[in-house]
Structure 1
Amino acid sequence: MSVRFLHKLFQQDGLTVGGWIRTQRLKRCSRDLLRPMAAELGVAGIARRWGFANSSHFSRAFRTAYGMSPRDWQTDGKPTG
């Protein structure tokens, strides 16, 4: 499969490859923040684990996706609703 074809497949669904990958990484981060190991790794450690090299970039992306900071997510748990 060519890269161009891959991008066209995603484009048909109104997505970008990069956007889909970022969403998957953020989902994994949100899940890991709720696990017991999160206290050991910390927010920055979990972000690095899933490929976010810059903590502030991760925090902004997380807040945009989930409506709260990663720390609040970790402390308060996944919001209901």
Structure 2
Amino acid sequence: MSSLPKLFQGEELTVGRLIQRCRLEKCRAELGRGGPSGPGVSVIAQRWGFAHPTQFTRAFRTAYGMTPSEWQAAARDADATD
């Protein structure tokens, strides 16, 4: 076993889950600031290493309670009312 996974032994969060959480946070931030002409969900997902759109959507919904498209639309609506 390499030393990185050893650091996470006994922790609730695995190395893989920590990396995925960080990638999801970057996606969420980018989706929230894209504006009407910003990149689409699939472009952002690929940029942050999600090769399959369904995998990304499932992980995002699990983490944030809505799909990436719903998050992006809510952010755009919020920008429009400001």
Could you say whether these structures have the same fold, taking a TM-score greater than 0.5 normalized by the shorter chain as the test?
yes
- Say which SS state the counterpart of residue 60 (structure 2) adopts: helix
Instruction: Decide whether aligned partners of structure 1 residues 19 and 70 sit closer, same or farther in structure 2, where only a CA change above 3 A counts.
Output: same
Structure 2 runs not aligned, ≥5 long: 76-82
1:45 to 43, 60, 68: 43
Question: How well do the aligned residues superpose, as a CA RMSD in angstroms?
Answer: 1.7
CA offsets, 1:18-43, max 9 Å, x none? 11100000000000001136743200
Alignment partner, residue 56 of structure 1: 54
In the alignment, structure 1 residue 24 sits paired with structure 2 residue 22: yes
Structure 1 runs not aligned, ≥5 long: none
- Greater shift in the superposed pair: 36-45 or 51-60: 36-45
Shift of 1:16: 1.0
Counterpart CA distance in 2 for 1:9 and 1:37 is: 40
TM-score, L = length of structure 2? 0.81
Moved >4 Å (runs of 4+): none
Instruction: Decide whether aligned partners of structure 1 residues 45 and 76 sit closer, same or farther in structure 2, where only a CA change above 3 A counts.
Output: same
- Greater shift in the superposed pair: 3-12 or 54-63: 3-12
Identity in percent: 49
Count of residue correspondences: 75
